[in-house]
Amino acid sequence: MADKISAVKGMNDILPPDSARWEWLEDKVRTLMAQSAYRMVRTPIVEPTALFVRGTGETTDIVEKEMYSFEDRLNGEQLTLRPENTPGVVRAAIQHNLTYDGGKRLYYMGPMFRHERPQRGRYRQFYQLGVEALGFAGPEVDAEIMLLAYELFAKLGLRNVRVEINSLGVPAERQAHRAALIAYFEQHRELLDADAQRRLLTNPLRILDTKNPAMQAMVQDAPQLLSYLGEASLKHLHTVQSLLTACGVPWTVNPRLVRGLDYYSHTVFEFITDELGAQGTLCGGGRYDGLFEILGGKPTPAVGWGMGIERVLELIKEQGTELPPLAADAYAIVPDAATLPIAMATLQTLRRAGVQVQMHAGAADGMGSMKTQFKKADSSGARYALVFGADELAQNLVTIKALRDGHGAQRTQPLADVAAWAATLQS
Ligand code: ATP
Ligand code: MG
């Protein structure tokens, strides 16, 4: 036998019946986005590496060590599998001048790639749902996108998801804070680990993000960006907060919540659960008013978030949310291959009427015994078996047998009326 080939480490197959959860979630997302007039955007999975170096940021974990990059063998171009979708969406918006006639509300769902150590809730190919509201400067859109995430979690029946919010102000405020931060960290140099030593010069804000327990106390007492915010920035933050409150979204301020990149401004936020261990951030986002310019576009305010779909599904499982089992409405039993033409034509009529039908599939030499077929019908979970027996068909009849409720009840129905029967199933 030939050697087996396995999937790449950290990349998952999503198979039935689990894939039903994905479809269920995706359906909810589509409905929700339409309710707030957010429109689907799809950008390529492969982009020029430079897009992420500039748009995700040279000093981020993603660009420093997590990207799948390669050279196009044909023309030597440097390419990368997207680790996130915001740079791609902004690139597309600039390339197609998308905001020429006003703001655009967009959302995406799709695979992202990061070379991380695989563990629960952390994969090398994972899926993100995200929204990007482009061309809107006001705090009400920050609140609007946060409401979208909140509403989605509610629709999915998730409990105990916390909302943390902070403000990064504007560049001048951040510079003043950055200077104070560097001075503070220099006073505590002996406590800084190697990562922090390095970041002190490149990106001191990221030190606040540290997961090193030995640095926690020192980081807790570091100067807070919040106390460097001017009136306009505070007003922006307070408006977001009061709009969330008005819509029934509880939030807390986390002054250490940061995004270590200069193109972020004002609102940053995370949706967090304590039920998934260290991988508890379900959704992270913020305002990135500076990104369009970094990517060569005109100054354009923008705000968005990204959500890890695997983590959300993991939490749904963890919290024991039950989904309806996967089963067709009816299972078609075809005792004799000779009746396949009329059976299959009838099934098509049923499917067009909206009934989900699973047809029995036989072996190369025939359809198999009635007993086998009924067993399969039972284990399929279908509510009804449709029996296309030769004798009934000779009189233009089909037998319908209830497999679940009213177990065993059986009647015959004129073939011409199956669509009418099907209509009764929809209720
Ligand atoms: P973390 O701190 O967990 O590494 P992050 O800051 O790298 O998250 P973002 O880049 O903000 O995450 O991505 C948004 C969301 O995507 C995260 O909140 C998380 O739910 C999800 N996510 C990020 N990386 C992974 C991964 N490797 N596998 C699965 N989901 C992920
Ligand atoms: Mg990460």
Provide the residue-wise pLDDT of the chain in tens; the chain has 427 residues.
899 999 999 999 999 989 999 999 999 999 999 999 999 999 999 999 999 999 999 988 899 999 999 999 999 999 999 999 999 999 999 999 999 999 999 999 999 999 999 999 999 999 999 999 999 999 999 999 999 999 999 999 999 999 999 999 999 999 999 999 999 999 999 999 999 999 898 889 889 888 899 999 999 999 999 999 999 999 999 999 999 999 999 999 999 898 767 789 999 999 999 999 988 999 999 999 999 999 999 999 999 999 999 999 999 999 998 887 789 999 999 999 999 999 999 999 999 988 999 999 999 999 999 999 999 999 999 999 999 999 999 999 999 999 987 767 899 999 988 878 877 776 5
Domain 18-169+229-318: state its class: alpha beta
Please tell me the residue having the least CA distance from ligand 1 atom 9: 284
Ligand 1: residues whose CB is within 6 Å? 84, 114, 116, 121-123, 126, 128, 279, 281-284, 306-308, 310-311
CA 87 to the chain's CA centroid: 17
**What torsion, rounded to 10 degrees, do the Cα atoms 194, 200, 203, 205 define?**
100
pTM: predicted TM-score of the whole model, two decimal places: 0.92
Per-residue model confidence (pLDDT) at position 426: 64
Pairing of strands 384-387, 410-414: unpaired
Tell me the C-alpha to C-alpha distance, in Å, between residue 309 and each of 108, 123, 145, 314.
Answer: 12, 11, 17, 8
CATH architecture entry for 330-426: 3-Layer(aba) Sandwich (3.40)
Ligand nearest to the CA of 269: 1
Ranges of each domain in the chain: 18-169+229-318, 330-426
Return the pLDDT at 427. 54
Q: Quick one: which ligand is closest to 311's CA? A: 1
pLDDT computed for residue 76 by the predictor = 97
Pick from 311, 313, 314, 316 the residue to mutate for probing ligand 1's pocket: most ligand atoms within 8 Å of its CB.
311
Among protein residues, the one with the nearest Cα to ligand 1's atom 2 is 281
Q: First vs last Cα of the chain: how many Å apart?
A: 51
Sorted by sequence, the CB contacts under 8 Å of residue 369 that are 6+ apart come out as: none
